Amino acid sequence: MNRDVERHKLFNRRCVMLGGGKALLISALVGRMYYLQVVEAERYRTLAEENRVNLRLLPPPRGRIIDRFGVPLADNQKNYRVLLIPEDTKNVDATLASLGEIIRIGPGERRRILRDVKRNRSFVPVTLRENLDWREVARIEVNAPDLPGVMIDVGQSRDYPYGPEMAHVLGYVAAASPADQTGDPLLELPGFRVGKAGLEKVHDLDLRGRGGSSQVEVNAYGRVIRELQRKEGEPGARVRLTIDVGLQRMASRRLGAESAAAVVLDVHSGDVLAMTSTPSFDPNLFNTGLSAGEWRNLTANPRAPLINKAIAGRYSPGSTFKMCVLLAALEKGVITPTSRVFCTGFTELGDTRFHCWKKHGHGLLDARQSVVQSCDVFFYEAARRTGIEHIAAMARRLGLGAKLGVDLPGEQAGLVPTAKWKRGALDAPWHQGETLIAGIGQGYLLVTPLQLAVMTARMVNGGFAVTPHLTRSVEKSGARKVREASDYPSIGIPPRHLELVRDAMTDVVNFPRGTAYRSRIDDEAMAMGGKTGTVQVRRISKAEREKGVRKNEELEWKERDHALFVGYAPADNPRYAVAVVVEHGGSGSKTAAPIARDILLEAQKRGSARDGVRTAATAPAATTDGGEG
C-alpha cells in the first residue's frame, strides 16, 4: 500500500516537472516569437523585402557628339552581351568551360574574366563577351539551364560612323580601368565605357550622364518576376563641335595614305573646321576589343597612326616661317618694304656658306619679292640684322613656341629657341650662324600644324590673337558664345606690315613667279594666298652639293624632305586658314600646296565656317603640281 502511494507521489512529481518544463519551453517560444514578430518586426520586414526586391543601377545613355551642322559623329547602338554573376555559380571555371563550347572564349579573354571576378564583388556582373550576334545569343539562351550565373544583357555600345576620319579628334571609349575608379558605382557596371582619348576624354564627365535605378521582384531562385519601380537616369550631355565633318572627310581622303596632317581654322572665331592626321585608326575597334595582331600593327607602323600629328607632330616650319622673320625685321626697322638684297645662291658667314634653294640665285629682290620667290639669302640677311631674340618674340605673338590650349589632350608646345634656352638646355652659347638657319625656319625651331594654322590666321585677320577650339557648346552647361576676331586681343603688329605680308602671300600663289603658282584657284572670288615650305631632314654634304644634290625621288622615304604649306582664302577677305604638313612628301609646292588648295576650295564651296543646320551643301560628301618653296 505504502509502495503504491510512493509510486503515485513520484508520478505526480514527474508530471509536475514535465508540465513545468513544457510550460517553460512554451513560454520561451512565445517570448521568442513575440521578440521576432513584434520587437524585431520592422528589421525582419526589411530583410524580407530586400530578399524579395532587388535594386539595380541603370546605366544612362552616353551623350552624343555632333558636328557644327548637327551631323552625328559619336552615337550609341544596341549591344548584346553575355554576363556572369559569380555568386550565382558554384564553379566559375566549369561555367566558363561550358560556355566556351558554345561561343569562343580565348585564353586572353579567360584571364581577363578571372581577373575581373577576383577584383569585383561577387554580386557584380562580369562581362564575358560583347557584340554578340543573334545566333550566339540564341545558342546561349537554349543552353541557359547548364550555365548557372550566365545571362544575356542588352546594353549600348559606342558607334563612330566616320571611323578613322574622325578618330584623332573624337578619341575612343573603353572599359574603366582600376586607375579610372573613383567610387562611382556606374564605373563597375558591365559594359560601361569611359573616354580614353580625344574629346571623349575631355568631355567624359558631361557625356556620362547620371545613372537610374530599377526595383524588381525576384523569387527564391533570384529569377525576376516583375519590375516594381523604375527611375530613369539623366542621359549624357550632347556636345556640339566646331568641325564640319564633310570638310573633315574631304581633307582626310585628300591626304590619303601619306603620313600627314591638315588643320583648317575660321580666322575670326578660332573654330577648328577640320583637323585630320593620317594614317589613322578605327576607334570602334577600341570599343569592341583589339586583337593582339591589330595592336601590333598600330604600334609598329612607322607612320604612327595613333599620334594626332596635327597637335603632337613637331616639325621645322621651313619657309612658312619667313613671314614671321619679315614681320620681326620690319618691326625692328632693320628691313623696310623697299629694302633689297642681292642673292647669288649663297651667303657667307666666317668660313661657312649658307646656300639658297636656288643654286644660281634670285638676283636683286625686295621684301615682297623675297617671300614670293622664297629667297633664302634675303632671309639669312634679315635674320642676321634682326637677331634671334626679336624673331623669337614675334614667333610667340603669332602662336608658336607654347601650347595654344586647344581642347584636346596631347598637345605639344613646339620650340622657339633663344640664346637663354640653348644655354639652359644644352649648356652651350648661341652662334650667329644658328640665327641665319632660324631665319629660314630650320635648326632648333619646331612647330605643330595647328600652330602654323594659328600663325596664318593671326597674320590675315588683322593681327588678333585668335585661339583654336573644337567645342562649340555642351548642352548641359549651355551654349558657348561664338567669338569673333575683334573679341580677341591685338598682337600689336602694325596694319601696314600685315598688309605687306598678306599681299606677298597672295602673290606666292597668283603671281607667275610665285612658288605655288601652279596650285592657284582659278575662280577669283575664291582665290587663295599662302606660302610653301620644304624642310630638309638630312644633312647635304659638300661633296654631294658639288656633284649635284640627289632628288627626293632617289632617296629612301625617311630621308626625303618634309612638304609644308600654309594658306588662306578668299584672298581679298580671308575667312579660312589652312596648314598642311606631309612628312617626307618632298617639295611643299608640289605636294602640300595642291592639297591645301583643294581643302580651301572645298571649305568655301561648303560654307564651312557659317552657322546653321545640315543642308545639302553641308551634308558629308559621298564616299597637281607647283613650284619650289
Indicate the pTM of the whole model: 0.82
> How many Cα atoms within 13 Å fall on the side-chain side of residue 341?
29
pLDDT above 70 covers what percent of the chain?
Answer: 87
Looking at 429-575, which runs of residues are DSSP E strands? Answer: 471-474, 478-479, 529-535, 562-569
Looking at 372-525, which runs of residues are DSSP E strands? Answer: 471-474, 478-479
pLDDT at 483: 59
CA distance 380 to 433: 9
How confident is the model over 325-358, as pLDDT tens digits?
A: 999 999 999 999 999 999 999 999 988 999 998 9
Reported as a pLDDT band with limits 50, 70 and 90, residue 245 is very high
Across the chain, mean pLDDT equals 86
CB 628 within 8 A of CB 561: no
Q: Can you tell me whether residue 295 is helix, strand or coil?
A: helix
Burial 553-585 (b: 16+ CB within 10 A, else e): eeeeeeebbbbbbbbbbbbeebbbbbbbbbbbb
Of 220-234, 341-355, 458-472, 498-512, the poorest mean pLDDT is in 220-234
| CA 322 to chain CA mean position, Å | 30
Nearest to 454 by CA among 264, 252, 194, 170: 264
Backbone torsions φ then ψ of 555, nearest 5 degrees: -100, 160
pLDDT at 604: 97
CB 399 within 8 A of CB 301: no
Q: Does the pLDDT value for residue 261 go beyond 80?
A: yes
Of 131-140, 276-285, 549-558, the poorest mean pLDDT is in 549-558
CA distance 323 to 508: 12
Distances in whole angstroms, Cα of residue 158 to Cα of each of 187, 207, 285? 16, 12, 10
pLDDT at 219: 59
Q: Does the pLDDT value for residue 624 go beyond 50?
A: no
CA distance 92 to 111: 12
CB 255 within 8 A of CB 278: yes
pLDDT at 157: 83
pLDDT at 622: 40
Q: Can you tell me whether residue 401 is helix, strand or coil?
A: coil
CA distance 386 to 392: 10
Burial of 284 from C-beta contacts in 10 A (0-12 / 13-18 / 19+) = middle
519 counts as catalytic: no
Three cell numbers at 68? 557644327
CA distance 599 to 604: 9
Reported as a pLDDT band with limits 50, 70 and 90, residue 168 is very high
Catalytic residue among 157, 280, 316, 319: 319
Domains, the chain, in order of start with CATH, read 56-217+232-241 (3.90.1310.10), 245-470+482-606 (3.40.710.10)
Burial of 359 from C-beta contacts in 10 A (0-12 / 13-18 / 19+) = exposed
CA distance 607 to 4: 122
SS3 letters across 315-372 = ECCHHHHHHHHHHHHHHHCCCCCCCEEEECCEEEECCEEEECCCCCCCEEEEHHHHHH
How confident is the model over 174-195, as pLDDT tens digits?
A: 888 877 777 777 777 766 888 9
Q: Which residue reads 594659328 in cell numbers?
A: 454
CB 567 within 8 A of CB 253: no
Q: Does the pLDDT value for residue 424 go beyond 90?
A: yes
Reported as a pLDDT band with limits 50, 70 and 90, residue 127 is confident
pLDDT at 349: 93
| CA 186 to chain CA mean position, Å | 24
Identify which has the larger pLDDT, 57 or 72: 72
Reported as a pLDDT band with limits 50, 70 and 90, residue 615 is very low
How confident is the model over 498-532, as pLDDT tens digits?
A: 999 999 999 999 999 999 999 999 999 999 999 99
Tell me how many helices (H) and strands (E) the chain has: 22, 21
CB 346 within 8 A of CB 375: no
DSSP 388: H
